[in-house]
């Protein structure tokens, strides 16, 4: 699949509809809640969830207060099936543009989720990205899996 570029692949099955998971990637408040790895506070500064639209986001380290920001563009949005977007760090020491492809497929117990992140800057070890995604996807599961009725 990937050449010499720095990339990570993740696969999960979540007990939630593809629609809920898809919306969690495109709703700014939801994304700020589940995407930041443990110990970070996320903020979405801008989000235009349409093809050619973009977003800007930052993660702040709760312990130290230092933050880093990144932005990107939506390349493909196939409702409840596929999201492709780019990610670029604002830090000039982390050059290049990453590409993220999210694929959703309904299965008998929920939705199968595949994530491929490519062209990770060389300064970032792939396993650090993998670890961050693992934490993010646990938080995503906690957000999308509970079915909470109104009035609770």
pLDDT tens, residue by residue, 120-147: 998 899 999 999 999 999 999 999 999 9
What pTM did the predictor assign? 0.92
Whether 150 is covered by a domain: the verdict is no
- Which CATH number belongs to the domain containing residue 25 in this structure? 3.30.530.20
Per 3-state DSSP, what percentage of the chain is helix, strand, and coil (rounded to 5)? 25, 40, 35
The total domain count for the chain is: 1
- What pLDDT sits at residue 5? 64
pLDDT tens readout for residues 10-44? 999 999 999 999 999 999 999 999 999 999 999 99
Does the structure show a pLDDT above 70 at 1?
Answer: no
Whether 107 is covered by a domain: the verdict is yes
Whether 3 is covered by a domain: the verdict is no
pLDDT tens readout for residues 73-92? 999 999 999 999 999 999 98
Decide: residue 133, CB within 10 A, 0-12 exposed, 13-18 middle, 19+ buried: buried
For residues 90 and 107, the answer to whether their CB atoms sit within 8 Å is no
Tell me the residue range of the domain where 129 lies: 8-144
- What pLDDT sits at residue 3? 45
């Amino acid at each position: 699949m990937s050449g010499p570029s720095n990339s990570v692949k993740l696969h999960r099955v979540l007990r939630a509809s593809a629609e809920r998971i898809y919306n969690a990637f495109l709703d700014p408040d939801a994304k700020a809640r589940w995407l930041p790895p443990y110990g970070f506070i996320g903020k979405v500064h801008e989000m235009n969830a349409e093809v050619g639209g973009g977003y800007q986001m930052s993660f702040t380290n709760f312990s130290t207060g230092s933050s880093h920001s990144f932005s990107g563009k939506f390349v493909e949005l196939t409702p409840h099936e596929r999201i492709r977007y780019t990610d670029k760090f604002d830090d000039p020491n982390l050059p290049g543009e990453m590409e993220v492809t999210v694929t959703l497929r309904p299965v008998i117990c929920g939705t199968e989720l595949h994530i491929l992140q490519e062209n990770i800057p060389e300064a970032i070890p792939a396993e650090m990205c993998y670890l961050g995604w693992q934490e993010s996807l646990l938080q995503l599961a906690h957000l999308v899996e509970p079915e909470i009725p109104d009035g609770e």
